[in-house]
């Protein structure tokens, strides 16, 4: 065989090895897919190993140009975000028709691979890894960057056991001059896509929080939150179906953690945590392993409140209906084009014998009802994130009540009295276990999405200001006293509620155990 013919029949991988791209020498292939190849490479100047992502570009190929544009956007986004839990981009350059990005090398694989190899992740470790990712998202959101494709395969693992968020190729950079768009498409991965994005609405920071919530679900259960025969079916479930009960899959998880994850998975973005920083603090509070493997130290509501800023309240709503032309067309079996990154869903655990090859990031256009599964990858590195310091609640000297609008409410009486429009003063000034009385007109009285709490909110309350709750043990007597199965007929009534103050995810609340705590004023 001639030398030229021998080279032609070499495996594709070996034809790349020991080649040079700029100052980088290619050592081995880490993964490949629709977006290109990822190599282990040596920086010949600094004598260190990096992950080198390579994509071919062509002026004559619109698809290649789109890949190149996405490739450059990923580098721009990651370079903008200097954070220990985000993959560090070292360099981007071009040699002839090859674009390449040099990144720190993360050698622990990703969360998807870990679950395929070993099954679901112990709760304490899952919370620890997810908190790293939530910190990274919160940092990006503060700089106007929305990831838009948070999923298990984009959570990279270092050898030290930390998590790094990867693949900003689909990110919204918050740049008005950025004209990157997916024509007639939705951006994301079906198994972790937020309901509002599945309905064709733009992604927002709360959308990343939902996607991370889906990823935490996958880490804890070993399976996606929704699955289906095709992309259309998964999308419809994400947009319409209530969140399955995490407690049924993981009965040993603390209630506070379950409620926190379910808050992140609320169908309505307004009912999720106030931001990813809040979600990160919740997760950090459950990242300390205690006792048998898989258990975690559960913080009480009061102690959790010390580290949690206000979280969104949650209210029951009628089920979402898919809106937007592209998803509606999917639901009708039409030919709308949907753009997704990677496979149509994250796979459930597989045996170690299954293929563990890395996938290279991609955006797959899927025409309903058929799906084209494309592969995805990312490679990266390591640093640790310290948990944020607790925010202590403060108490202040008493002042007369009722105060002028510019003065704080009294905080040292036997019973501190507030009107509903003053409840924003409670959080910074009143400690837990203080007896307070709040007067106002009830805006809503209904079960939480999980069904484990009945929640009453007042007119004039802002998000995270104050709430009244009671648990299932009080449902019957509250329903008997106030109407409805649980007390629903309180809606629209003017009441005074009195009880000890506590906190849930940083939101001040009174937990009612008896109808005597509520006085009807109308």
> So which residues are the catalytic ones?
149
Pair 452, 474: CB distance under 8 Å: no
With CA atoms as reference, report the closest residue to 205 among 132, 131, 279.
279
Q: What three-state secondary structure class fits 365?
A: strand
Pair 18, 25: CB distance under 8 Å: yes
What distance lies between CA 299 and its chain's CA centroid? 21
* Residue 332: count of CB within 10 angstroms of its CB: 12
53 marked among binding-site residues: yes
With CA atoms as reference, report the closest residue to 291 among 252, 259, 261.
252
Pair 211, 266: CB distance under 8 Å: no
Q: In which element (H, E) is residue 78 found?
A: helix 62-80
With CA atoms as reference, report the closest residue to 199 among 248, 152, 267.
267
144 φ/ψ sector (left φ>0, alpha ψ -120 to 50, else beta) = left
Pair 368, 336: CB distance under 8 Å: yes
Q: What is the secondary structure of 131-199 as a DSSP string?
A: HHHHHHHHHHHHTT-B-S---GGGEEE-TTS-EEE---TT-B---TT-----TT---S-GGG--HHHHT
Rounded CA-CA distance 277/274 in Å is 8
Pair 423, 401: CB distance under 8 Å: no
What distance lies between CA 162 and its chain's CA centroid? 17
Side-chain-facing half-sphere of 185: CA atoms under 13 Å: 20
With CA atoms as reference, report the closest residue to 435 among 418, 410, 414.
414
Q: Count Cβ atoms within 10 A of the Cβ of residue 505 and give its class: 0-12 exposed, 13-18 middle, 19 or more buried.
A: buried
Q: Which residue has the tokens 């995805």?
A: 376
Pair 417, 440: CB distance under 8 Å: no
20-21 and 435-447: which strand pairing?
unpaired
**Residue stretches of the annotated binding site:** 53
Annotated binding residues for ATP, written as ranges, equal 53
């Amino acid at each position: 065989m001639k030398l030229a013919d021998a080279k032609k029949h070499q495996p594709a991988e070996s034809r790349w090895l020991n080649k040079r791209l700029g100052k980088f020498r290619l050592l081995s292939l880490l993964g490949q897919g629709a977006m290109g190849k990822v190599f282990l490479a040596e920086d010949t100047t600094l004598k260190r190993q990096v992950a080198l992502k390579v994509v071919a570009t062509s002026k004559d190929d619109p698809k290649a140009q789109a890949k190149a544009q996405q490739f450059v956007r990923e580098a721009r986004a990651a370079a903008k975000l200097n954070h220990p839990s985000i993959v560090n981009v070292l360099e981007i350059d071009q040699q002839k028709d090859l674009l390449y990005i040099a990144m720190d090398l993360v050698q622990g694989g990703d969360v998807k691979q870990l679950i395929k190899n070993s099954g679901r992740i112990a709760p304490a470790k899952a919370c620890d890894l997810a908190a790293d990712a939530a910190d990274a998202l919160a940092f990006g959101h503060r700089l106007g960057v929305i990831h838009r494709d948070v999923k298990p395969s984009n959570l990279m693992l270092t050898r030290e056991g930390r998590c790094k968020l990867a693949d900003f190729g689909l990110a919204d950079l918050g740049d008005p001059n950025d004209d990157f768009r997916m024509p007639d498409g939705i951006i994301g991965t079906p198994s972790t896509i937020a309901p509002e994005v599945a309905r064709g609405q733009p992604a927002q920071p709360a959308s990343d929080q939902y996607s991370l919530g889906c990823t935490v679900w996958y880490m804890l259960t070993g399976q996606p939150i929704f699955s289906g025969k095709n992309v259309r079916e998964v999308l419809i479930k994400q947009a319409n179906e209530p969140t399955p009960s995490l407690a049924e899959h993981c009965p040993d998880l603390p209630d506070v953690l379950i409620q926190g994850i379910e808050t992140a998975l609320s169908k309505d973005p307004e009912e999720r945590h106030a931001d990813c920083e809040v979600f990160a603090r919740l997760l950090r509070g459950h990242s300390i392993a205690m006792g048998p493997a898989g258990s975690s130290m559960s913080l009480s509501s009061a102690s959790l409140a010390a580290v949690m800023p206000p979280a969104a309240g949650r209210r029951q709503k009628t089920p979402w209906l898919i809106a937007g032309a592209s998803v509606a067309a999917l639901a009708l079996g039409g030919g709308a084009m949907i753009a997704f990154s990677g496979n149509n869903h994250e796979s459930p655990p597989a045996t170690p014998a299954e293929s563990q090859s890395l996938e290279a990031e991609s955006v797959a256009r899927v025409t309903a009802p058929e799906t084209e599964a494309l592969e995805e990858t990312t490679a990266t590195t390591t640093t640790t994130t310290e948990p944020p310091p607790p925010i202590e609640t403060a108490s202040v000297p008493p002042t007369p009540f009722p105060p002028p609008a510019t003065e704080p409410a009294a905080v040292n009486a036997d019973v501190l009295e507030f009107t509903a429009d003053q409840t924003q003063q409670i959080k910074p000034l009143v400690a837990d276990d203080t007896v307070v009385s709040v007067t106002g007109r009830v805006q809503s009285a209904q079960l939480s999405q999980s069904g484990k709490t009945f929640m009453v909110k007042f007119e004039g309350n802002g998000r995270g200001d104050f709430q009244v709750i009671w648990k299932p043990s009080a449902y019957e007597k509250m329903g008997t006293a106030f109407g409805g199965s649980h007390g629903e007929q309180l809606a629209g009534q003017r009441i005074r509620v009195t009880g000890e103050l506590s906190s849930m995810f940083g939101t001040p609340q009174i937990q009612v155990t008896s109808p005597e705590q509520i006085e009807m004023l109308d």
